[in-house]
Structure 1
Amino acid sequence: MRLLVTLLLCLTLPASALADGFISRLLHKPVPGGVAVLQLGDAASAPQVRYQNKPVLVVREDGKQWIAIVGIPLTVKPGTSEAQVDGRAVPFTVGSKQYREQRITLKNTQQVNPDAANLKRIERELAEQTRAYQQFSARQPSNLLFDKPVDGPLSSAFGLRRFFNGEERNPHSGLDFAVGAGTPIKAPAAGKVILIGDYFFNGKTVFVDHGQGLISMFCHMSKIDVQLGQELPRGGLVGRVGATGRATGPHMHWNVSLNDARVDPAIFIGAFKP
């Protein structure tokens, strides 16, 4: 009977749904701040894909057809968007998603309205981190189903509209885990350390390049346990949880970036909520 039900279900599903592999089913969440997976066919070599004039991660799924894994910035409006595949326009649909608000009170008012000296520091640090996010290495990611960087419950979700002392600032660009100070932070996938810093907002910070524009950023750390240029295996120790920078207490903040777009890390650990 179970086999019969399975066969009937397969007959009722569209061919495209049956053709989608594991990566497509895991990652295809085409909303602002999400990921679109585009099917590209089974050519002998990988197509060249760009989105918003940025190179895009392309992998072969299940050893068969090529897929593009496109990061969609939070600023993209729902509707039709467009990638360039070998110079040809390929449209895809971006759905809608409502993000909640988060209101935070900070005692240090400099972390809400910095003075001129701190603004210069922030601009310099932002430029440095932006360059890291824009890196696009040739390496293939070792895995796209990520491990959690820490073993703990999720707290602040990606995309929250944030108000500090009543003033709106940039949306929450990562995912927070409620864990204590000193908790080990582990690489969710293999990668190379491309940036280390101690920043005004992010505190002690590490960027890890997983390949082809897929980059993790860990911040507010109490201790950094890696060196610039170091190759990390999946599960390798990155550092320890802390509360450095603009943080109200110890927690693990993790960003994931694709083609220089910050996207919801929950997608990569199977915890995305529409």
Structure 2
Amino acid sequence: MTHTDISMVRRRLIGAATVWGLTAPWWAHAAPPAGTFIERTLHHPVPGGVAVLDLGTAATMPVANFNGQRVLVIQDADRHWKAIVGLDLKTRPGQHSLVVQGQPAVGFRVGSKRYREQRITLKNKSHVNPDPQQQARFEREYEEQMQAYASFREEGPSNVVFEKPVPGRLTSPFGLRRFFNGEERNPHSGLDFAAPTGTAVKVPADGIVTIVADYFFNGKTVFVDHGQGLITMFCHLSTFDVRVGDRVSRGDVVARSGATGRATGPHLHWNVSLNNARVDPAIFIGAFQA
């Protein structure tokens, strides 16, 4: 094994050991501190990004909130609590505060980021301007998804650094201003990967399946709750491999990619949500572009 390979293994083991109160390997003190690993990987405080904030070494896990939403808190190998805060695309650049029960607020700064545009032509005109019945269906489905995104389980995630859910190349990044048949719609809330129909979609962390459904825009869709407000969503699927309520482990196949819903061809759309804020999944797989 080369020196580079050993270093890579060490970095992955440190990250795995620190994401939820686990003890770091014996050699961790000779490497960069575990907290630094998490911050270096996830700390990108821009709209659509993530802020990693130190909450000290309290004996019990602090309870923290941002914009009225409970946030994910993990403990590193040095017993420092870290808040992993999702910042949605509407977050204004500038100074912000994290509210922590029984402690002073933690201030942090959000920078700016400019996202590109994407223009798509759809043959199915109802996927641009749905009729009243389709609109009513969309609204029901939207509410169901919003409830899933807003859920918070006390159990923490198994890991917060992910592998890609499919092996394909990235085709559409997060945050694109999207125009369908010339009409502007919501920005792109996830990542798109090239994935031929039937490609296995693997879950990036342990969790509980909360939605298995066929939606008007998203097509066949799976939601997985990983704990403490960390939610992942996979859509435009062809088939399902799980049911609501199933417990899944990191690397399990939850579905197969497809082209259902508002899609121009086979691919996987993948969302990551923290404290009910859709954030750039590229951050979690080390592919974030500043």
TM-score of the pair, normalised by structure 1: 0.92
Q: What letter is aligned with 2:217?
A: F
What is the match of residue 69 of structure 1? 84
2:22 is aligned with 1:30: no
Deviations 1:24-54 (A, max 9, x none): 1110000000000010101101111000000
Q: What letter is aligned with 1:190?
A: D
2:266 is aligned with 1:226: no
Aligned residue pair count:
258
- The equivalences for 1:50-199 within 5 A come to 50-86=65-101, 88-199=104-215
Q: CA deviation at 1:219?
A: 0.3
Q: CA deviation at 1:21?
A: 2.4
What is the match of residue 9 of structure 1? none
RMSD: 1.2
Q: CA deviation at 1:77?
A: 1.2
- The equivalences for 1:230-249 within 5 A come to 230-249=246-265
Q: CA deviation at 1:83?
A: 1.2
Mapped partners of 2:78, 2:143: distance in 1:
38
2:194 is aligned with 1:201: no
Q: Is the 8 A contact 1:147 1:188 kept in 2?
A: yes
Mapped partners of 2:262, 2:78: distance in 1:
44
SS for the counterpart of 1:80 is strand
Q: What letter is aligned with 1:196?
A: V
Structure 2 counterpart of 1:252, from 268, 277, 281: 268
Deviations 1:140-185 (A, max 9, x none): 1101111110011111000000000000000000001112111000
Mapped partners of 2:210, 2:72: distance in 1:
18
SS for the counterpart of 2:105 is strand
State the identity %: 62
Q: What letter is aligned with 2:193?
A: F
Mapped partners of 2:202, 2:209: distance in 1:
13
Is the alpha carbon distance of 1:191 and 1:19 closer, same or farther for their aligned partners in structure 2, counting shifts above 3 Å?
closer
Q: CA deviation at 1:89?
A: 2.5
Q: Is the 8 A contact 2:35 2:78 kept in 1?
A: no
Q: Is the 8 A contact 1:223 1:240 kept in 2?
A: yes
Mapped partners of 1:20, 1:157: distance in 2:
27
What is the match of residue 5 of structure 2? none
SS for the counterpart of 2:195 is coil
Is the alpha carbon distance of 1:65 and 1:181 closer, same or farther for their aligned partners in structure 2, counting shifts above 3 Å?
same
Q: CA deviation at 1:124?
A: 0.3
Mapped partners of 1:42, 1:24: distance in 2:
16
Mapped partners of 1:86, 1:99: distance in 2:
35
Mapped partners of 2:211, 2:185: distance in 1:
25
Q: What letter is aligned with 1:111?
A: H
Structure 1 counterpart of 2:58, from 39, 43, 46: 43
Q: Is the 8 A contact 2:54 2:83 kept in 1?
A: yes
Q: Is the 8 A contact 2:34 2:76 kept in 1?
A: no
Q: CA deviation at 1:193?
A: 0.2
Is the alpha carbon distance of 1:46 and 1:250 closer, same or farther for their aligned partners in structure 2, counting shifts above 3 Å?
same
Deviations 1:92-134 (A, max 9, x none): 1001111000000001111001111111001000000000000
Q: CA deviation at 1:20?
A: 4.1
SS for the counterpart of 2:260 is coil
